[in-house]
Amino acid sequence: MNRRLLVVDDEAPIRDSLARHFKLAGIQAETAFDGQDALEKLAKIPYRVVVSDIMMPRLDGIGLLRRIRKEYPMTRAVMITGYVTLENALSCVQMGADTCVFKPFQDLSELDQAVEAAFAFHERWEKKLLELRGLKGKN
């Protein structure tokens, strides 16, 4: 089962440390430096989960989220933000983010749970689809 995840943050140390954290948890984590870069990477590889910051140059997290919902409906999005405003949180809800984790992180359990839940979502569907394919084969 492929566990590919894209970390999007304009702050290099944040995206790098998060990617390292996920890799050590057995996830294939890669990084993008802003929303635009993330879209380019998504076009090449269908990441199952995107963990993205909100405030970024060029294309911000909300803009990225909007494009993901439209172009990659199966990709799950977990947002992280240090600039906590109601406006940001509501935009995340409206754009269908799984959750919005506030920086600074107390610990990573909230983020880890959100990411695990996102992969679990994929695994459930994958199982269902496999079952359906299996049935189709038999008939």
Site residues (vs other proteins, CB under 8 A): 11, 13-14, 16-18, 20-21, 24-25, 55-57, 60, 80, 82-83, 103-108
Please, what is the minimum distance in Å from the beta carbon of residue 76 to other proteins? 20
Please, what is the minimum distance in Å from the beta carbon of residue 16 to other proteins? 7
Please, what is the minimum distance in Å from the beta carbon of residue 13 to other proteins? 4
Please, what is the minimum distance in Å from the beta carbon of residue 45 to other proteins? 23
Nearer residue to other proteins within complex by CB, 21 or 67: 21
**What is the layout of strands, in order, in the sheet containing 28-32?**
28-32, 4-8, 49-53, 76-81, 99-102
User: Can you say whether the dihedral through the CA atoms of 101, 44, 34, 10 is positive or negative?
Assistant: positive
Decide: helix, strand or coil at residue 10.
coil
CA 104 – CA 121 distance, rounded (Å): 26
Nearer residue to other proteins within complex by CB, 22 or 47: 22
Nearer residue to other proteins within complex by CB, 107 or 136: 107
Decide: helix, strand or coil at residue 95.
coil
Q: Among 7, 53, 54, 62, which residue's Cα sits nearest to residue 29?
A: 7
Nearer residue to other proteins within complex by CB, 64 or 80: 80
